[in-house]
Structure 1
Amino acid sequence: MAPELFLLQKYTKASDIYSVGMLMWEIFGGFPPFNDIPHDLSTISNIISGLRPPMLSEIPNEIQSLIKRCWNGDPSKRPTIEEILDVIKYQYRQILENEELSIAYDNEKKTYSGSRKANKPTNQTYHTSRILSLSEKDINKFVIPEDFDDENVDWE
């Protein structure tokens, strides 16, 4: 869920783009982001303050950069879906047009499937959709950065 939504801001296309970034990360990682930490108010506060999943070495640099842009705390700085598609199409063409990359991709695909181990979920981690009951008091507890940009994001 995009950080701005925890602050009860308006749901926008940019909120979906944040989720697309999380989905790209999950596709490469093979497990959900924040799989090993409780899904509680502390985690929500940390996400609002810039917490993001660690970038995985298996993700190509260009895609890492795209994912980070999708996760920008400032919704206006996130890419559009058209920009995302352009980057993905370009990366795919690069693989297809370069025989060496294509072979490496095929080999990686064969060994990668299921090889990554997820951190063990905590007993306080929930992977089903549920309504978070946030009161105004809870929201006011959050430390909200004045500027939601990449400088405030913890990529580790």
Structure 2
Amino acid sequence: MRLKHSSMLDLKYTKASDIYSVGMLMWEIFGGFPPFNDIPHDLSTISNIISGLRPPMLSEIPNEIQSLIKRCWNGDPSKRPTIEEILDVIKYQYRQILENEELSIAYDNEKKTYSGSRKANKPTNQTYHTSRILSLSEKDINKFVIPEDFDDENVDWE
């Protein structure tokens, strides 16, 4: 994956990056613990996420929601759903539960027994669950995003 130098260093939030975060939040809601809870939050993990690392899908997540989460995580931000699409899918799934007596009973039973009972992987001592600023230099970022032998002399970055 090659990215424009300034796009990595500007680190601007966009609607597409917010959608990626919504996908992670949906995963965390179903999982009951943060994604990547058991690996260090460092440059290697950032590199792996940029290269496509995603948390494993959990069997508790309905197939339609799994598909939605995967779309939120798409490596191409232009292929991620809009917030309106996300809301439509969630509303539709909720209506399906309410309108189907069998699903509604199963949903009520799951709510009673679930209450975060899922066991999280044990966090490493290098895992952080609060916001913090990573000190990243252009060299740090580019070493895992742009190959060292990449010649940018003839690239039109605009």
Indicate the TM-score class for this superposition, using the shorter chain for normalisation: 0.7 to 0.9
Contact 1:51-1:155 within 8 A present in 2 as well: no
Q: 1:144 to 1:137 in 2, by over 3 A?
A: closer
Q: Displacement of 1:122 after TM fit? A: 0.2
Q: Please give the alpha-carbon distance, in whole angstroms, between the structure 1 residues aligned to 2:116 and 2:27.
A: 15
Given that 2:52 and 2:75 are in contact with CA atoms closer than 8 Å, whether structure 1 keeps it comes out as yes
Report how far residue 153 of structure 1 moved. Answer: 26
CA distance in 2, matches of 1:13, 1:100: 37
Aligned pairs for 1:78-93 within 5 A: 78-93=80-95
Q: Give the superposition deviation at 1:68.
A: 0.3
Q: CA deviation at 1:113?
A: 1.1
Question: Which residue of 1 is the match for residue 4 of structure 2?
Answer: none
- In structure 2, relative to structure 1, the CA distance for the partners of 1:96 and 1:124 (3 Å cut) is same
Q: CA deviation at 1:111?
A: 1.1
Contact 2:9 2:138 in 1 (8 A): no
Q: Tell me how far 1:124 sits from its aligned partner.
A: 0.6
Q: 1:9 to 1:124 in 2, by over 3 A?
A: closer
Structure 1 residues 98, 147: closer, same or farther in 2, change over 3 A? Answer: farther
Post-superposition shift, 1:114?
2.3
TM-score by length of 2: 0.85
Q: Which moved more, 1:93-102 or 1:8-17?
A: 8-17
Change (3 A) 1:108 1:35: same
Cα deviation, residue 50, structure 1: 0.3
Quote the RMSD (CA, aligned, Å).
6.8
CA distances 1:36-71 after superposition (whole Å, capped 9, x unpaired):
000000000000000011100000000000000000
| Structure 2: stretches of 5+ with no match in the other structure | 1-7
Q: Deviations over 1:87-134 (max 9, x none)?
A: 000000000000000001111111111210000000011111111111
Q: Compute the displacement of 1:11 (Å).
A: 2.3
CA contact (8 A) 1:38 1:122 kept: yes
Worse overlay, 21-30 or 110-119: 110-119
1:70 and 1:138, CA in 2 relative to 1: closer, same or farther beyond 3 A?
same
Native 8 Å contact 1:52 1:155 kept in 2: no
Partner of 2:60: 58
Tell me, yes or no, if the aligned pair for 1:25 and 1:33 is still in contact at 8 Å. Answer: yes
- Could you tell me how far 1:9 is from its partner in structure 2? 5.1
Residues 11-30 of structure 1 mapped to structure 2, 5 A cutoff: 11-30=13-32
User: Once the 2 structures are TM-superposed, how far is the Cα of residue 10 of structure 1 from its aligned partner?
Assistant: 3.8
SS in 2 for 1:146: coil
Q: Identical aligned pairs, as a percentage?
A: 98
